């Protein structure tokens, strides 16, 4: 039998060796005897290592065989199944009908009252199709809602607890606030319960009337806020070049004053290598109101753009050094910092996937056997003119239907087949298949699917090794951190799930 390892070795700060096994999703302490035995048995390892003493060799071979039998550990399949042929459109339609749409995203306008320097719809991303500036009509919005709710009603026959999710997106969606009011009223008239509304806004139009409406209808309100004034204003500017922080923050404070206990006000923080993470940390720590809020931290996208060419190597290194220093402060001790907004950025976001890998399960699915991409049609992004696209994060990827005709599963089948051929075919045997959560957004160049850089996958593996090193160094120091991280994650996100919409 050909034996091929699929996983990676890593070493913690204490010098302990571990092996992440991608076949089982398990992590094993890996002393020299186990490591040498594994590598010497690996058919792909051409370099013979020091021979394990016979008495140890018997023990480690038995250890490997037992874990292989119990968990499917260590040895990857001798051969991988072929890349799926083009999916059957009828089967895709059946899968979508059974699983339902997770989310309806209404791109109510392509217009915006800001001109952020890193916007996905700007020339910074030449591959990205610019959103049309037209506004969505009420007729298009109602037709989209009807299509979504019809599917939701059918799914609830089998899954009565399914929460509907309707998101308002842009551009700046509050430019079309009257339309948003009409859509919410329309859904209410249909007497559909348990629907969560979400909105992403730059906050400039978040006046008292808008705030009261969003709170009354239990919107999850995500406001873009990149930190204190100078940091926020560096990129989030008006068409005339003026910073937006003072107006946005004043609106946030008014929202807090009118709705002090509102649990669904969150903040989208975008950063790059010029962001002062220490100043950002102090800003969010110094305002008690932020401790009740949800946070999402995202770097400016680095794929198929020259955005990061503006930064020096010194800025890059300085940024990562400051991140490492603050992460150390946050994790020592973690429990005392569990209300710190940056816990989500430094601990929960990068560590959660790796600590919960067995709970989250394998990425991929029969139609797309590798990477963590969703299947087009699992959520629906509606453009202002009624065209349907797979995702708001990949403008211009593909038109997969219209609100009048519904999803075009022939187009979806072609899109999936192309992705499998160009990307997923190269993933088989990868060291981190279980931990990979890349998707269409990472590989779409504007014309085709391809790696954004030749070293993209190598970098993903190296990043995973670094995260595993950090996690297990932390767990060696305090094993209870695993449960603490899980508790913090559940506590900070369960408030949304427990609401009666």
Residue 501 has pLDDT above 50, yes or no: no
Question: What CATH number was assigned to the domain covering residues 100-501?
Answer: 3.20.20.70
Could you check whether the bond before residue 171 is cis, i.e. omega within 30 degrees of 0?
yes
SS (H, E, C) 410-459: HHHHHHHHHHHHHCHHHCCCCCCHHHCCCCHHHHECCCCECCCCCCHHHH
Cβ contacts of residue 135 below 8 Å, gap of 6+? Answer: 108, 109, 111, 175, 176, 179, 384
Q: Which two tokens stand for residue 11?
A: 């070493």
Average pLDDT for residues 131-143, to the nearest whole number? 92
Cβ contacts of residue 332 below 8 Å, gap of 6+? Answer: none
Mean pLDDT of the chain: 87
Most confident of 58-67, 176-185, 427-436: 176-185
Of 197 and 474, more confident: 197
Q: Which of 60-64, 74-78, 457-461 shows the lowest mean pLDDT across its residues?
A: 74-78
Q: Which of 36-45, 52-61, 74-83, 232-241 shows the lowest mean pLDDT across its residues?
A: 74-83
Rounded Cα–Cα distance for residues 102 and 163 (Å): 9
What's the residue count for the chain? 501
The candidate with the shortest Cα–Cα distance to 345, out of 285, 421, 399, is: 285
Question: What is residue 353's predicted lDDT score, i.e. its pLDDT?
Answer: 67
Q: Which two tokens stand for residue 13?
A: 């700060």
- Whether 199 and 221 have beta carbons less than 8 Å apart is answered as yes
Q: Which of 25-34, 55-64, 162-171, 350-359 shows the lowest mean pLDDT across its residues?
A: 350-359
Predicted structure pTM score: 0.90
Residue 201 has pLDDT above 90, yes or no: yes
Question: What is residue 339's predicted lDDT score, i.e. its pLDDT?
Answer: 62
| Tens-digit pLDDT profile for residues 398-410 | 999 999 999 999 9
Average pLDDT for residues 11-29, to the nearest whole number? 93
Radius of gyration of the chain (CA): 24
Residue 211 has pLDDT above 60, yes or no: yes
Average pLDDT for residues 309-326, to the nearest whole number? 92
pLDDT band at 120 (very low <50, low <70, confident <90, very high): confident
Residue the block writes with tokens 């026959």: 157
Residue the block writes with tokens 């699929």: 6
Could you check whether the bond before residue 405 is cis, i.e. omega within 30 degrees of 0?
no
The candidate with the shortest Cα–Cα distance to 298, out of 350, 258, 252, 336, is: 350
Question: What is residue 489's predicted lDDT score, i.e. its pLDDT?
Answer: 64
Q: Which of 92-96, 336-340, 464-468 shows the lowest mean pLDDT across its residues?
A: 336-340
pLDDT band at 498 (very low <50, low <70, confident <90, very high): very low
Domains of the chain, by residue range, sit at 1-79, 100-501
């Amino acid at each position: 039998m050909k034996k091929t390892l699929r996983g990676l070795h890593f070493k913690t700060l204490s010098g302990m060796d571990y092996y992440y096994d991608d076949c089982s999703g398990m992590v094993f302490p890996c002393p020299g005897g186990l490591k040498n035995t594994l590598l010497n048995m690996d058919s792909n390892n051409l370099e013979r290592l020091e021979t394990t003493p016979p008495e140890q060799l018997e023990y480690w071979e038995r250890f490997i065989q037992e874990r292989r039998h119990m968990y499917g550990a260590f040895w990857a399949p001798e051969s991988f199944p072929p890349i799926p042929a083009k999916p059957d459109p009828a089967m895709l339609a059946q899968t979508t009908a059974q699983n339902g749409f997770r989310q309806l995203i209404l791109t109510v306008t392509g217009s915006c009252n800001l001109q952020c320097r890193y916007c996905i719809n700007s020339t910074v991303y030449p591959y990205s199709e610019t959103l049309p500036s037209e506004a969505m009509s009420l007729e298009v919005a109602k037709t989209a809602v009807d299509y979504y709710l019809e599917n939701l009603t059918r799914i609830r026959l089998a899954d009565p607890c399914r929460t509907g999710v309707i998101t308002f997106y842009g551009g700046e969606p509050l430019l079309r606030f009257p339309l948003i009011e009409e859509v919410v009223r329309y859904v209410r008239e249909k007497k559909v319960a348990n629907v969560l509304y979400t909105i992403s806004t730059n906050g400039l139009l978040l006046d008292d009337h808008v705030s009261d409406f969003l709170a009354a209808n239990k919107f999850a309100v995500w406001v873009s806020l990149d930190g204190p004034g100078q940091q926020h204003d560096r990129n989030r500017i008006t068409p005339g070049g003026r910073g937006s922080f003072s107006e946005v923050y004043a609106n946030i404070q008014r929202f807090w004053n009118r709705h002090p206990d509102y649990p669904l006000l969150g903040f989208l923080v975008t950063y790059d290598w010029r962001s002062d993470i220490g100043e950002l940390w102090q800003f969010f720590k110094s305002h008690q109101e932020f401790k009740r809020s949800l946070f999402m931290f995202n770097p400016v996208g680095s794929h198929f753009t020259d955005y990061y060419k503006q930064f020096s190597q010194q800025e890059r290194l300085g940024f990562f050094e400051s991140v490492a220093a603050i992460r150390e402060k946050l994790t020592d001790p973690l429990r005392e910092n569990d209300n710190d907004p940056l816990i989500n950025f430094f601990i929960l976001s990068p560590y959660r996937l790796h600590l919960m890998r067995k709970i989250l399960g394998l990425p991929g699915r029969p139609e797309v056997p590798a990477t963590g991409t969703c299947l087009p049609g699992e959520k629906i992004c509606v453009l202002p003119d009624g065209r349907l696209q797979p995702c708001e994060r990949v403008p211009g990827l593909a038109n997969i239907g219209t609100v009048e005709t519904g999803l075009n599963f022939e187009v979806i089948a072609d899109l999936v087949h192309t992705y499998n051929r160009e990307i997923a075919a190269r993933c088989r045997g990868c060291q981190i298949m279980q931990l990979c959560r890349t998707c269409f957004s990472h590989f779409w160049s504007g014309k085709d699917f391809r790696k954004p850089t030749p070293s993209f996958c190598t970098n993903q593996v190296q990043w995973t090794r670094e995260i595993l090193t950090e996690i297990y160094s932390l767990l060696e120091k305090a094993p209870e951190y695993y449960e603490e991280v899980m508790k913090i994650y559940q506590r900070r996100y369960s408030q949304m799930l427990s609401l009666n919409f």
